Copies of this chain bind each other. A is one copy, B any other.
Amino acid sequence: MAHQCVVVRIKMKERYYDDLKVGDRFKSEPLGVTEKELIEFAHRFDPQMFHLSRRRAERSVFKGLIASGWHTAAISMRLFVQTLNFAEGAIGLGVDELRWPNAVRPGDVLTVETEIIDVRSSRSRPGHGIIRLRNVTTNQRGELVQTMLASAMVPRRTSEQQPFTVQQAAKREFRT
């Protein structure tokens, strides 16, 4: 009799407005930044010498190459998006108090921590809610490299979008 192999794949949980409450906290996976990526981003978007050239950066006030603050912001967005994983996505409404207390340098490894600080229904879109959050990005030494507050519009769960239970997911993904 043939040996049966059962593989159960659980889809990564998609999050909705209804899943969040004030005080919830999330922590991303870490993500490293290479010198090559840092310089490439700067060439496209922030061509200033302390982001572009190791040699010239060493003579700047930073005493070495640093990432553009907008690169730090973009990496932080990626970590936030992956961690929260909103169904249909989160629509950014605005950002306040965006700060870069310490520079990001080649080889740094960044992590984003998110705290939900407010939740409310959307007045203009009943199928959505508005969340207010604080995102804090730290490097491998726990130093703050970015802090910000943001508001985003995220989808509510409708009756057709009930989350799968593990059993339902297993049934859908059953393989022999």
Residues of A within 8 A of B (CB): 41, 44-50, 60-61, 68-71, 73-75, 77-78, 81-82, 86, 88-100, 125
Contacts and interface: CB of A to CB of B under 8 A. Distances in A.
Contact of A46 (B77, B99, B125): B77
B91 A61 contact: yes
A44 B89 contact: no
A96 B125 CA distance: 26
- In the complex, the count of this chain's copies comes to 2
Contacts of A91: 50, 61
A39 to B, nearest CB: 14
Contacts of A60: 88-89
A125 B70 CA distance: 23
A47 B98 contact: no
A147 B125 CA distance: 23
Residue among A48, A61, A89, A125 with most chain B CB within 10 A: A89
Given A47-B78, A70-B70, A125-B61, A92 B100 contact: yes
B94 A96 contact: no
